[in-house]
Chains A and B, each alone.
Chain A
C-alpha cells in the first residue's frame, strides 16, 4: 500500500513540473489564440538569466525574480518583434513561427552556455521527510505550492479581472475587439509577457532537478502540451489536473506494468490522452460550444 502511495506521490511531483509549463501554454492560448511551441525555449532562456546571475554572485531569490522579469521582457519583445508580423495572417504560419523561435532560442542558449547540463540552485532545501511510510521531498512540496498559487492567480485573472476579460476577447477576435476600443497590440504583448514570465517560473522550479541545459524542457514541453490539450487548452485548472493525471499515469505504468518499464513508460500517458480526446474532443475541462448559424 505505501509503495503504491509512494508511486503516486512521485508521479504528482513530476506532474507538477509538466503543469507549470502547461499553464504558460494555456495562458498564451487564452491571450492570443495560439499554441506556442517556443514556450519551453523561452523558459530556458529566462532560466539561464538566473543561472548567470547566481554565478555572478547574486543571491538566489533575487536571481530567480530577475529571471521572471527577464522572461516577461523576452516574451513581450518576441511578440512585438517577431510574432506581430504573423498575427494578422494564418494561424498555421504563426505556429510554424513559434517552432522557428524554439530552435532559435535553444541555439542561442547553447551558444552562450553550451549543451552540457549545469547544476542549478533551488529555493527549497533538498530534503525528504517521511509521512506514514511515504517519502516526500520538500522540493516537490514547494513546487506544488508555487504551482497551485500560480494556477489560482491565473484563474482569478481570467475569471474576475478586466485585463483577463480583455485578453480573452482579443484571443477570440482581435479585429472585433479593436472596435470596442481594446488596445489589441498592447494586450497581445502583455499576454506573451505574462506567459513567458510564467514559463520562467516553471524553468527555475525544475532546473534544480533536471539541471539546466538548452534542451532541459524539450521533453517537458511534450508532456505540457499533452496536459494543456487534455485540459481543454483554455482552462488553468484543467491543465493542472491533466498534468497531475499524466504524471501519475506515467509513474504507475513504470512501476506496475512489467513490459512497460522505464523506457516505455512515456508512451502510456499519451495513449491515455489519445483515448480521452477521442471520447471528449474538447478536453476534460474545455468548453463545449455548439455553433448555430
Chain B
C-alpha cells in the first residue's frame, strides 16, 4: 500500500480552476519531487494534500480518503507541511516554535530526544534557541520550519521551495538535513523545488506539472536523461 496517493485531484480558488486532475503516488519511506514553472500548481498540490484548499477527486493517506479534512486534522494524522514562505512563528522563540511542532504529542521523553536530534541536525538553531524566530536569518528560518515539521514526528513531510531566497551553501545545508531526516527518521518526502539539483539529491522520482496538469513523470535518472527537462530545470 502506498503512503500517499492523489487520484484525479482538482482544485480551485474561488472560480479559478488551478489543478485539472493530478494523480501521483508516494510509497512508504519514499521521496517524490514536484517540478514545474511558476504558477504550474506545485504549491496548490501540496495545499490540496494538507487540506488548505478545496478539492475534488481523492487524496488517500495510508489508504484512507482524507480529502475534505482541514489542515489541523491532516497534520494530526502525520502530514507535516512546510509551507512556501516558511510560516515560522515570529513572536515565538526558536525553542517555542519547535515545541509548537510537537503540540499533539504525549510522549514527553521522545519529544525531548527529538528536540536534541533537531538541534544536532541544525546546529545554527541550537545557537539561537532563545531568539525570536523573527530575528533569524532566512536560512535559519527555513531550518526552523523544517525542524518544527519534524517535531510533529510525521510520516510524510511536504516541502515547498525550501531553497527559495537562500545562498547556495545554505540551501545545500537545508537539503542535507532533509536527506538525513529521510534516512534516519524514515520521513517520506514530497519535495517542491525550482532547483532540480537540490530536489534530485533527495527524491527517487518526480512529476513535472504544467498549468495544473501532469506533463511528465519519471524516476530521477529518466528525467535527468531528458534534454527538455535538463534545459528547463538544470540550466542546460
Contacts and interface: CB of A to CB of B under 8 A. Distances in A.
The answer to whether A binds B is yes
Interface of A: 162, 165-166, 168-169, 171-173, 175-184, 234, 287, 289-293
A172 B72 CA distance: 16
B90 A179 contact: no
Contacts of A292: 135-138
Interface range for B: 20 to 34
Nearest to A33: B91
A289 B88 CA distance: 14
Nearest to B105: A181
Given A173-B90, A179-B50, A181-B103, 11 more contacts: A165-B100, A172-B89, A172-B91, A178-B70, A178-B75, A179-B80, A179-B149, A180-B80, A289-B91, A289-B134, A293-B138
Nearest to B136: A292
Nearest to A179: B81
A176 B72 CA distance: 10
B92 interface: yes
Contact of B152 (A172, A176, A180, A287): A180
Contacts of A166: 100, 103
Interface string B137-156: 11000000000110010000
Contacts of B76: 181
B135 A289 contact: yes
- In this complex, the member of B52, B81, B91 whose beta carbon has the largest number of chain A beta carbons within 10 angstroms is B91
Contact of A291 (B89, B90, B96, B101): B90
Given A166-B103, A289-B135, A292-B136, A182 B87 contact: no
What are the 8 A-B residue pairs with the smallest beta carbon separation, nearest first?
A176-B87, A181-B75, A178-B71, A181-B76, A172-B89, A178-B72, A289-B134, A169-B100
Contacts of B104: 181
Given A162-B103, A179-B83, A289-B134, A169 B92 contact: yes
